[in-house]
Structure 1
């Protein structure tokens, strides 16, 4: 009797039972599901990783992809901050925005690329540390904006961007921790 390997329904019950007992080989989607479930913001994790092409196929490439998403969002936010500075007419808001730019600039140019390089070298603890520092910089930026008393539409948008970057950093650190825990 010739068995087709293309469908599970053609397998005898015993073979199906053994197949279920064997260690699973996860598809890319299963891996993304599994790792994102372990993060504090599962939906954000999945929304960040699923559209990537090619899809990351192992935990290390997922971690690198998340760091890349963090870098992209921080770069966009820095550009947004610089745009707000150019159009600001409020000296207190302008100072707070300039402080944000000073906080974001080294993270975008040096820190996140350093975290990505650390992951390539297998130094995941350093990558987590650097991403945690990036998260702290977004907090400092937000405190400066809040203390300046800015409550216009652009500061609300910057607050949303800071929150997104902070959450992305949390997700990236969680993905790296999953990698360290053998997922």
Structure 2
């Protein structure tokens, strides 16, 4: 092997090694959650994941994705409320949109702040708001189903994403 080939091989190794380490980290983190396939499939394409420094970073990326998903849910619920003919349905849809807003404006920021804490205990503090977020999504998705609109994918995404983050937060509490 000549020196040019050696340099190429070394460069390839240096460029790919962080990806291999991160891939193992992502697999390890996701395998400790109740939705490992969803976790991996959702996070692996994100361009920030190759730079993940640990489970808390992975959780923050998932929180960003849940936030974006919930913004779409809120927009869909408001649109459906505008189109609703029954005032009770309209009111319920507005309430559900407000609850998703609470998730995005309170629970997710509280969890994100906890995950960026420098201490293990601080990171573990993300657990309660994430449990509240998952419970809120669960209650809302059941109510929305009774009204008829099919937002099951978005609700499922929000539920699984918050539960995955809660499991990551719980790992800092053990």
Written as runs of structure 1 = structure 2, the 5 A alignment for 1:101-116 is 101-116=97-112
Equivalent of 1:27 in 7, 10, 21: 21
Kept in 2, the 8 Å contact 1:135–1:165? The answer is yes
Instruction: Say which one has the larger Rg.
Output: 1
Equivalent of 2:31 in 22, 29, 37: 37
**1:176 — aligned with what?**
169
Q: Are positions 1:163 and 2:156 aligned together? A: yes
**2:135 — aligned with what?**
136
TM-score, structure 2 as length reference: 0.77
Report how many aligned residue pairs link the two structures.
154
Q: Which has the higher helix share?
A: 2
Kept in 2, the 8 Å contact 1:71–1:108? The answer is yes
TM-score, structure 1 as length reference: 0.73
Query: Hey, what's the Cα distance between the residues in 2 that align with 1:46 and 1:178?
Result: 18
Equivalent of 1:51 in 22, 45, 49: 45
Q: Runs of 5+ in structure 2 lacking a partner? A: 1-5, 11-19
Output the aligned Cα RMSD: 2.3
Kept in 1, the 8 Å contact 2:127–2:169? The answer is yes
